[in-house]
Structure 1
Amino acid sequence: MEAVQKDHWYFVVLIFLPFLKVQQKEPVIVHLEEGMVLNCLCPWEGNLSMVSWTKIPDKYPVAVFHPEYGMAFSHHYRERIEFLRTTPLDGSISMRNVTHQDIGLYHCSVQTFPQGPWTRTIQVEDLGEPAHISCSQVIITNTELVAEQNNNLTINCNHQHNGTVYQAVLQKMPHGQLWDLIGVCKNVDGGLVGEDYSNRGQVICADSLDVTLHLTHVIQEDAGFYRCIFSTDVGEQTVTVLLTVLVPGGFSLSVYMMYVYTGTGAAVLVLIIVIVILAVRQR
């Protein structure tokens, strides 16, 4: 019966969390790292009613603590989050087995009696990554690729440094938008760890931390800039690739190349005929 009650109150919390109006505050910046702590310590005294954590802007439920019913976690954060509970009104949590999917904006709400709720917003960032490049800036590319729609394509990012590479981050910027994270390759405790966030292809990490992205049945949305940021022992190195996807029914690369080859062959044949005619006339 007690288990049913716990499931019931957690279900009710998950239903009503998306509709809660939260007070907007300047977020606190926290560095993405293993065992990171998201502090949420209510500064006043009182009785604790409940602590809830959500990830915004979608208000995705993360964790809930209730003095009577205990703790509950969403599936993605289960066995990864721990409530610290250093004081009666401490809603702080620690997070382990972190990945780049944990980057984002988190909202903590401490419900107290009699003074009511106290909230805090925390921005988790990977401070090792460079800032986003403005769309108005000129982007210098190392490689330009052209693909026909519905074909398969492989994008290779190979670092040109002979030293030690610790991490490689693969990002994509569609035309006129900001950089999105696609995948991460890194060395952790001497082992290779790969994180694939691509919904259009497959990210493959080599032992050297070179990165490969396989795209199948290329579509127009795959076009744009791709870049690999290699973190090495002598700094960062960036490799940028521009992918152009040809519009179906319009310009065709294979037809274009056929015309080029045909035209070149015809021109050479005409030139040979002209030379032969001139040689015969001179005799």
Structure 2
Amino acid sequence: MDHLTLLLAILYVYTAPCEEIFWDTTVKLAKNMTLECVYPLADTVTQMEWFKIKMERESMAIFNPAFHGIIREAYTDRVYFSNHTMASNDMTLSFHNASEADVGFYSCLLHTFPHGTWEKVIQVVPPDNFEDAGPPNSQMVSEPGKNITLTCEPRENHLLEEVSWEKIQPQQIDLLISCNLSQGRNYTSKYPRQILSNCNKGMKKAFVTMPNVIGSDSGLYRCGFKASTGEKETFVMRLTVTNGETKNSYIPFVAGGAVLLFLLVILITTITVITYKRKKRQQKRGLFKDVWITQNRATNNYRNPFPPNPPAGGAGEDIYVNHPVFCLGPRARV
């Protein structure tokens, strides 16, 4: 009996490091990178800890709401909590000057009340091993607040054995759901957003539903599956959530055009009125000028009834002196 126990212990030691690790997110190695860890529920986070998964778990940082955070000595000045002061459920960890030594698996382990422990596993890979999504096979546009369902199915009418859904971003890939229908195992990722999916044995197509979509749900989604025939296929879909811009984007344009048209009408009306009044004033000035000239001519005729060189009068005769046209004074006696 003792020999059997010893044999089982030896087998456990040799097989434990080979245990399959399921990861929720794949991150591309970068000098400054971020490992996202957001608890999606409204529970109280009592404590959390970051580990690097090696032969044994290596503690990197620990955070307690009452005592705040501590960065372990090996990671001092290299990592920091990004947003814990803004949201108590956000334990995202950021790296400074990351290198190839930081490639590997990481665990974000939270202790919550009342649901207990919650863990998210992140894999950091070299840039050459990071998968690009490729061009999308289809596109979907939605307004915010809608319930969106993405569907994929094999080209041939075959049953599905394995199905996975992922969201593809430039620096990370988030696993949404993974189904092994042949073994009856389903793995739901720790994606910080509610995802509804089907994992039923005998299904011929797969779907994921996102209720009440918002702008941040926009992006590329990849569906991969293995059919009962062994055939594997991948489909990429692009989802665009408009944030209401498609529906209402023409309103500012129309309103702005109406304002410009109104200002143009006012400007044209003002110019027309000014021009009309100016012409009227010019016509009145011309009329007044004609009347003034006519009156002056009549006055000149009245002021000069005598020839330019009147005959000299004799003694006792009145002699009249002609004044200029602009002088309207009385006649002078000499």
**TM-score (structure 2 length as normaliser):** 0.37
**TM-score (structure 1 length as normaliser):** 0.42
Bigger proportion of residues as strand:
1
Bigger proportion of residues as helix:
2
